[in-house]
Structure 1
Amino acid sequence: MRVVEAGAFVAAPLGGMTLAQMGADVIRIDTVGGGLDYRRWPVTSDNTSLFWTGLNKSKRSVVLDLTSPEGREIAMALITATGDDAGLFLTNFPPRGWLDYDKLSAQRTDLIQLTLQGDRHGGSAVDYTLNAQLGVPGMTGAEGSDSPVNHVLPAWDLITGQMVAVGLLAAERHRSRTGQGQHVKLALKDVGLAVMAHLGFITEAQLGQPRQRHGNELFGAMGRDFVCADGVRVMVVGLTGKQWRAITDATASGAQFDAIAARLGLDLSQEGGRFLARREIAAVLSEWIAARKFADVCAAFDAHGVCWSRYQDIGELAASDLECSPANPMFARLEQTGVGPVLAPGIPLDFQGSGRLPPGPAPVLGEHTEVVLAELLGIDAAHYGRLRDQGLVGGV
């Protein structure tokens, strides 16, 4: 499966990389000097973008002068090149000019184009503006606060990136059955709206019960952070009945919890009851955990199968967590040009039949320009030399 990608930032490159890590030939087209996200932070001391290298693993890179008619014509030819498994195009740029579906499909009638937009009208949106519109910052943070709380995880971009991959696969399956190409549009805002509705946030508001802030407490069940005697902070969750019983057994707090249930008239076997009694439950657990060092809490929780974790920062995760190392078969160490040796993940899907492909590095900008133009368009070395002399192509 060959996908041509012209995109930037998170969702579109992530969708392309997801397919590349499952074995698709994903060819990213950039303009000379790199696209909008080529120097996106975080960067190394010599200005290599870890953002760009992180979201473009296992792809091939083609650089064209997209400001020139000749460069745009070459890009259109790559998008519409022949092949039963080709003719798939992914972009999050406005679908006009050389990105216009009608122009491209005139060259290949079974073309599949997925255009990612900010909103369904073609307007601009990013995760941070979308969160503000969806009300998420007003549900996040300390109880009683009236200030918005933004966060660093671009959740809508990440979900949308996966939907990009699903959308292309679904459209390709439709084409394989019918021979029909199509223009698929996907809006970041629609993804956010859909998920907010799926999780009940919108319905809550329609019923006059908009979600309130609850600080670090898990809404609708028992879950929050606690501090051990030696200062180590842990997260403990009792969402399911099994998880709640494990907490009760590990802390030998059954009699205290029964007393809480009787005093408040609540059934703590139900997650909603545990949420209503969360402060009383937390008082019991806080006392038990605060009286013990982390090692003892860890031993008790693990012995009883409690759903819990230790808080650690990203430095600890990268330095000492075995799950974030080659001990986890998803990861491998590879040499990334411009960065050096890095720990890189492949796709999280573990295909038990066909196996999981190892992660590949992100390409050097324009690394594959000459070979891709030769493979797909039959441009020989002499022709390529002329294009290079004219500044129409770039690469190493």
Structure 2
Amino acid sequence: MYRLLSDLSVIEASSFVASPTAGLYLAQMGAEVIRVDQIGGGPDFRRWPVTAANDSLYWENLNRAKKSVALDLSRPEGRELLQALVQATGQFVTNFPVHGFLSHDTLSAKRADLVTVRVMGWADGSPALDYTVNNAVGYPMMTGTGPEPVNHVLPAWDLLTGAYAAFAMMAALRRRDATGEGGEVRVPLSDVAIGTVANLGGIAEVLAAGENRERLGNTVYGLFGRDFATADGERVMIVVVTPRQWRQLLAALGLTGAVAAIEAERGVNFATDDGERFRHRDALFPLFERAIAARDHATLAPLLDAAGIVHSAYRTMHDAAHDPRLVCDNPIFAPGVANPSGMDYPAAGAFATLPQHDRRPPAPAPRNGQHSEEVLAERLRLPHAEIARLVDAGVVGTS
């Protein structure tokens, strides 16, 4: 079976979420991703969540299927080895600063066709994190009911930036295949965030309206969608996106006549217009609240399923970890992976597959420096005696 990206090798020097995610996605699609860290681990090596032994489950899962080289990057000799690895390989993913020993100009001086993908904070090179960029683009002032801002816990901009950076790497490699030219692709977190806001119509919306969107809590903007409470205290999110779903939801809940009465009273037609359902939610929501509150969840769920309605009860992450559809019977997961932490839990592999793609089981993350000797010998053709000298001198780390 053909393994996607099996002929691609990438050096990764990065930390935290966005840049390691780019490397992870490339590795999951079959690329050889060689992560280079400081001996003993970089700044994210112990990031929470951690085990009782202080092993980072975050690091362990963001770095699956990669190789690890450990160098003392505080010393010139260690930095020179990292530069040499990048130049020997020709593909580089990093979130190190634009300027310095890993600048593209420095690295490409000895490898003109080098492709560098650099994840950044702001486009001008100043630092930023997902949580601060999210504040800058306005989403915490749209979340919740107000007036205080509400941060969400998912690092969405980090994850989008990581995926975009992996995509950018492949685009830059296609360009190099066609022209022979390398180059640096910069992917600022801030541009991914504000660009996504624009792509969703948010910039145009506020400029046209001259004001911010009202805060809606759990109500979906522009659609019929909200959480409702059942008779037994479950909260269920229900979202309608098609005319057929709307008709079938009314029939399932016995609300066809009551909704027709609202349409007649207000001179509107909810059958085909998402916007009208949203605008008149003040009249519609009380009907649905009463109808759903009269049923327990065990009765409601099969009723909605039979009607083809999109719905989901709210669950904890602990619940999700035991859900057969999400984890236990999901083929992206595999148990029994030899994780560096020693913990045995379902490990995620690639999220997407092609029929011709050999779906490999999820691979473990490396130990810090696990592949140092192997990579230095293969990539830089260093003799074993020289590698031993570097290890003894503390320039190279091994596991």
TM-score range, shorter chain: over 0.9
Task: Return the alpha-carbon distance in structure 1 between the equivalents of residues 361 and 179 of structure 2.
Answer: 33
Greater mean deviation of Cα atoms: 220-229 or 348-357: 348-357
- Note the aligned Cα RMSD (angstroms): 1.2
Greater mean deviation of Cα atoms: 229-238 or 324-333: 324-333
- Which of 33, 39, 48 is the matching residue for 2:55? 48
Q: What residue in structure 2 maps to residue 128 of structure 1?
A: 131
Task: Return the alpha-carbon distance in structure 2 between the equivalents of residues 246 and 37 of structure 1.
Answer: 49
- Residue 385 of structure 1 and its aligned partner are, at CA, apart by 1.2
Q: Quick one: which amino acid aligns to residue 394 of structure 2?
A: G
- Residue 97 of structure 1 and its aligned partner are, at CA, apart by 2.7
- The aligned runs of 1:303-314 (5 Å cut-off) are 303-314=306-317
- Residue 243 of structure 1 and its aligned partner are, at CA, apart by 2.3
- Which of 25, 30, 33 is the matching residue for 2:40? 33
Taking a change above 3 Å as real, the CA distance of residues 339 and 265 of structure 1, as seen in their structure-2 partners, is: farther
Alignment deviations for residues 66-109 of structure 1 (CA, whole Å, 9 cap, x no partner)? 1111111111111111xxxx411011110333201111111111
Note if 1:391 corresponds to 2:391: no
Secondary structure of 1:261 counterpart: helix
Task: Return the alpha-carbon distance in structure 2 between the equivalents of residues 350 and 249 of structure 1.
Answer: 38
Q: Is the 8 A contact 2:71 2:397 kept in 1?
A: yes
- Residue 39 of structure 1 and its aligned partner are, at CA, apart by 0.8
Alignment deviations for residues 113-139 of structure 1 (CA, whole Å, 9 cap, x no partner)? 111111110011111111111111111
Q: What residue in structure 2 maps to residue 175 of structure 1?
A: 176
Alignment deviations for residues 198-217 of structure 1 (CA, whole Å, 9 cap, x no partner)? 11111111111421200110
Task: Return the alpha-carbon distance in structure 1 between the equivalents of residues 296 and 320 of structure 2.
Answer: 21
Alignment deviations for residues 186-228 of structure 1 (CA, whole Å, 9 cap, x no partner)? 1100111101111111111111142120011010011111111
- Residue 154 of structure 1 and its aligned partner are, at CA, apart by 0.9
Alignment deviations for residues 326-361 of structure 1 (CA, whole Å, 9 cap, x no partner)? 411111112311141121111211212224332111
Greater mean deviation of Cα atoms: 108-117 or 279-288: 279-288
- Which of 365, 369, 391 is the matching residue for 1:366? 369
Task: Return the alpha-carbon distance in structure 2 between the equivalents of residues 355 and 301 of structure 1.
Answer: 37
Task: Return the alpha-carbon distance in structure 2 between the equivalents of residues 214 and 266 of structure 1.
Answer: 22
Q: Is the 8 A contact 1:5 1:89 kept in 2?
A: yes
Q: What residue in structure 1 maps to residue 5 of structure 2?
A: none
Q: What residue in structure 2 maps to residue 348 of structure 1?
A: 351
Q: Is the 8 A contact 1:349 1:356 kept in 2?
A: no
Q: Is the 8 A contact 1:42 1:51 kept in 2?
A: yes
Q: Is the 8 A contact 1:201 1:211 kept in 2?
A: no
Q: Quick one: which amino acid aligns to residue 216 of structure 2?
A: H
- Residue 242 of structure 1 and its aligned partner are, at CA, apart by 2.6
Structure 2: gaps of 5 or more residues? 1-7
Alignment deviations for residues 253-287 of structure 1 (CA, whole Å, 9 cap, x no partner)? 11111111222222212100110122322211111
Q: What residue in structure 2 maps to residue 20 of structure 1?
A: 27
Q: Quick one: which amino acid aligns to residue 186 of structure 1?
A: V
Task: Return the alpha-carbon distance in structure 2 between the equivalents of residues 173 and 49 of structure 1.
Answer: 36
Q: What residue in structure 2 maps to residue 265 of structure 1?
A: 267
Task: Return the alpha-carbon distance in structure 2 between the equivalents of residues 214 and 97 of structure 1.
Answer: 46
Task: Return the alpha-carbon distance in structure 2 between the equivalents of residues 301 and 22 of structure 1.
Answer: 37
Structure 1: gaps of 5 or more residues? none
Task: Return the alpha-carbon distance in structure 2 between the equivalents of residues 264 and 7 of structure 1.
Answer: 58
- Residue 171 of structure 1 and its aligned partner are, at CA, apart by 0.2
Q: What residue in structure 2 maps to residue 252 of structure 1?
A: 254
Q: Quick one: which amino acid aligns to residue 174 of structure 2?
A: R
Percent same amino acid at aligned positions? 45
Q: Quick one: which amino acid aligns to residue 56 of structure 2?
A: S
- Residue 382 of structure 1 and its aligned partner are, at CA, apart by 1.9
- Which of 210, 216, 219 is the matching residue for 1:217? 219
Alignment deviations for residues 146-193 of structure 1 (CA, whole Å, 9 cap, x no partner)? 211111011111110100000000000111111110111111001111
Q: What residue in structure 2 maps to residue 279 of structure 1?
A: 282
Note if 1:379 corresponds to 2:386: no
- Residue 23 of structure 1 and its aligned partner are, at CA, apart by 0.2
- Residue 15 of structure 1 and its aligned partner are, at CA, apart by 0.5
Greater mean deviation of Cα atoms: 156-165 or 244-253: 244-253
- Which of 111, 115, 121 is the matching residue for 1:112? 115
Alignment deviations for residues 224-253 of structure 1 (CA, whole Å, 9 cap, x no partner)? 111111111111111222322231122121
Q: Is the 8 A contact 1:138 1:149 kept in 2?
A: yes
Task: Return the alpha-carbon distance in structure 2 between the equivalents of residues 281 and 108 of structure 1.
Answer: 64
Q: Is the 8 A contact 1:228 1:293 kept in 2?
A: yes
Q: Is the 8 A contact 2:98 2:125 kept in 1?
A: no
- The aligned runs of 1:290-309 (5 Å cut-off) are 290-309=293-312
Q: What residue in structure 2 maps to residue 239 of structure 1?
A: 241
Secondary structure of 1:160 counterpart: helix
- The aligned runs of 1:29-108 (5 Å cut-off) are 29-81=36-88, 86-108=89-111
Secondary structure of 2:195 counterpart: helix
